A = this chain, B = another copy of it.
Amino acid sequence: MQTEASPLVDKFQLTEDHDSVFPKGVPWVRYHGKYNDLSINIVCPGKDSSLGVDSVGTVSVSLLTYASVQALHPDIIINAGTAGGFKAKGACIGDVFLVSNVAFHDRRIPIPVFDLYGVGSRQAFYTPNLAKELNLKVGKLSTGDSLDMSPVDEAAILANDASVKDMEGAAVAYVADLLKVPAIFLKAVTDIIDGDKPTAEEFLQNLAAVCLALDQTVTQVVDFIVGKSFSEL
């Protein structure tokens, strides 16, 4: 979402790409520039052209990830965004989790092997030094296209052993895996799913403040990455 990206665009002094690398008509937004020795691109799914809301969810982020990798050939992807957290897994509002594993919780295909394809469990790129240096909470991420959590979703999220739940991560991981680009996932907790407040309300209430925490962590991650090889991360 745009709310998640704006402070980072300022911090890295990026400029918006008006002669887009993306096809005409898509709402995707790209900011780019140099930060220290790194060439940085921030891409956002943008606003749905009919409805005017942020293009959240797995379909939109898959397309954006695919098109961005094809156009920009990144060495690494950082999927930074907001998420719901489980207090039973130690999550608190404002925590930024470094994700160890991703999986889907709303793709149930009860046919042998198809069931595994549906869950789509994948490891994030392994960055033990990054986790230690930045003292980040590490946990698993479960992804689905709903902001709420139905009883069957809840069972799948439990099976995925998730600390955080979002609407994009596992789809980004699928595309990154398909195109063989290492991917790191940073998920900032806007709402406590197993708490007593309604998700949508808590999400909207905390969004702006939590995005600042997220962006601070993304900056620290980028600063940590500068000048290092993959094996040092």
Contacts and interface: CB of A to CB of B under 8 A. Distances in A.
Interface of A: 23, 25-26, 48, 51-59, 62-63, 66-67, 70, 104, 106-111, 113-114, 116-118, 144-148, 150-152, 171, 174-175, 178-180, 200, 204
A177 to B, nearest CB: 8
A179 B49 CA distance: 12
Contacts of A178: 25-26, 63
B146 A107 contact: yes
A179 B26 CA distance: 7
Given A59-B58, A66-B67, A108 B51 contact: no
A61 B179 CA distance: 16
Contacts of A110: 147-148, 200
B106 A180 contact: no
A148 B108 CA distance: 7
Integer count of this chain's copies in the complex = 2
A118 B106 CA distance: 14
Contacts of A55: 117
Nearest to A48: B117
Contact of A114 (B53, B107, B150): B53
A132 to B, nearest CB: 30
Contacts of A152: 150, 152
A111 B66 contact: no
Given A108-B147, A148-B108, A200-B111, A59 B56 contact: no
Nearest to A65: B63
A75 B10 CA distance: 42
Contacts of A175: 59, 63
A146 B156 CA distance: 12
Contacts of A118: 57, 145-146
Given A52-B113, A110-B148, A152-B152, 7 more contacts: A26-B178, A53-B117, A56-B117, A58-B58, A63-B175, A106-B146, A108-B150
A51 B113 contact: yes
Contact of A66 (B25, B48, B66): B66
A51 B152 CA distance: 24
A59 B62 CA distance: 6
